[in-house]
Amino acid sequence: MHPFFLPAPGRTLCCVYYGPPAGVPVCGSVLYVPPFAEEMHKARRMAAVQARRHAQRGLGVLVLDPTGCGDTSGDFGDARWELWLEDCRLGLEWLHHQAPGPVFVWGLRLGALLGLEVAQRHSDRVRAAIMWQPITSGSHYLTELLRIKVAVEMIGGRKTSVTELRQALSAGSPIELGGYCIAPQLADALEARSLSTFAVPRLTAAWLELVPDIASSIAPASQRIIDALANAGMDVTGESVPGQPFWQWDAQDITECPELLSRTDKVVDVILTRL
């Protein structure tokens, strides 16, 4: 494990690189794209555990805190979608010089949506994508966050609505969500993002979705998007994985999902044989 700061225009990006251990040949690299706000912190243990497992397979993994997040310079209020895209581009460039072989993007939740856009923009370099519980619509996700804020404020005796919060954002006012300042520019970018628009022809992708038990299947809405991506030329598969959502904002404990780790290992092994 090698922590370092990656220079970027006007900022420095906090990174951790998990390289293959001595004696394990490098066969490719992975850029991890984290989820949104507090979800990133709740998922850090899972990200670290999976990164080490990738490294054991010969994949060098770069875990990067995007602008305004974690230990990267700036506050969350400075976060912008385009800056995050540029952060990922810089991460890919760094990996290009660090580890030979095919490049994966691996994203969790909103990071899966961002990661697929990165794969589309850099289709000449990115060969595969691992999507953990991807957010399929930035607009719907923003609505969920706003509803949580409305519920919290209602408990505190303040009445507001999702419509009023959206109006504030449209008027150029940032809003606070769970201690994170969301800039109107970031909210606008979320509103415009939909996973189905980022199909990358010939990209090999795996969609892993947590479900309550082994008998449950991927949600029909998710399957429709998987089918749409496949129809657009992506080599994408979907798989349900029993486990609990380890990224939730209100989780009291940091947890792991062993089944997701083992399924991801198998998916990566299959992808590596096909690249």
Half-sphere exposure (CA, 13 Å, Cβ side) for 196?
10
Give the integer Cα–Cα distance in Å for 225 and 221: 7
Instruction: Say how many C-beta atoms besides its own lie within 10 A of residue 228's C-beta.
Output: 15
Give the integer Cα–Cα distance in Å for 90 and 111: 16
Amino acid in the structure at residue 58:
G
Domains in the chain (CATH in brackets) are: 2-137+194-274 (3.40.50.1820), 138-192 (no CATH)
Cα dihedral: 181, 186, 192, 193 (round 10): -80
Q: pLDDT at residue 250 above 90? A: no
pLDDT band at 187 (very low <50, low <70, confident <90, very high): very high
Give the integer Cα–Cα distance in Å for 16 and 5: 8
pLDDT band at 255 (very low <50, low <70, confident <90, very high): confident
Give the integer Cα–Cα distance in Å for 122 and 152: 40
Give the integer Cα–Cα distance in Å for 110 and 169: 20
pLDDT above 70: percentage of residues in the chain: 99
Q: Which residues, including other chains, have CB under 8 Å from residue 33's CB and lie 6 or more apart? A: 64, 66, 88, 105, 106, 107, 108, 111, 112, 114, 115, 118
**pLDDT tens column, 134-170:** 999 999 999 999 998 898 877 776 788 899 999 999 9
Q: pLDDT at residue 93 above 80? A: yes
Q: pLDDT at residue 100 above 80? A: yes
